[in-house]
Amino acid sequence: MNMKTDSFLAVLKALHEHDVEYILVGGLAVILHGIPRVTEDLDIFVKKDPANLEKLKKALRTVFNDDSIDDLNESDLVNYPVVRYGTPEDYYIDIMDRIGEAFTYADLSHETITSEGIPIKVATIETLISMKRGTIRDKDKADVILLTEKLSKRK
């Protein structure tokens, strides 16, 4: 494990311990499904709800000593597709409750994958494929190919 991975896991552990309603998407979700890949950030969908946002902020405060966590607010989740929190450990946590009209928190199917003893709510392979299909980034196109292969081996 590297330091960034350790920090990612510390955040995910805090989300679990504070009962945050979230689903991990993006590169780390792909990795947790067994696809070797590099990621530089954490991408999470959260249920847009004032109580859940407070739980999210409390969870982040247990990992980071950073007053800017208090700047996270529900109106940003309403007004912006991604709220980007820059951690003191030099990476971003992208917080979303929707991707345009295509996906909302409620639309995502997830499963729990345990890593280093931490139960992590991860978007299913099918959900990740749906989210990444049709995007223009090369890494997303590669993810779709590898996730589709992984899914076909399951059946």
Interior/surface letters 94-119, b for 16+ CB within 10 angstroms, e for the rest: bbbbbbeeebebeebebeeeebeebe
If one compares 9 and 137, the residue with the highest pLDDT of the two is 9
Q: What are phi and psi of 128, to 5 degrees?
A: -60, -40
Write 132-141 long-range contacts (CB < 8 A, 24+): 139/27, 139/37
What total of structural domains would you count in the chain?
1
Tens of pLDDT, residues 65-109: 999 999 999 898 888 889 999 999 999 999 998 876 678 888 899
Task: Give the range of the structural domain holding residue 34, as residue numbers without chain letter.
Answer: 3-154
pTM exceeding 0.85 = yes
The pLDDT of 119-136, averaged and rounded, is 92
| Residue pointed to by tokens 């847009």 | 48
Which residues, 6+ apart, have CB-to-CB distance to 154 below 8 Å?
125
Res. 155 pLDDT band, cuts 50 70 90? low
Give the pLDDT of residue 56. Answer: 97
Residue 19 region by backbone torsions, left for phi larger than 0, else alpha for psi between -120 and 50, else beta: left
Is pLDDT larger for residue 40 or for residue 5? 40
Q: What is the CATH number of the domain that holds 145?
A: 3.30.460.40
Q: What percent of the chain has pLDDT over 70?
A: 96
The pLDDT of residue 146 is 92
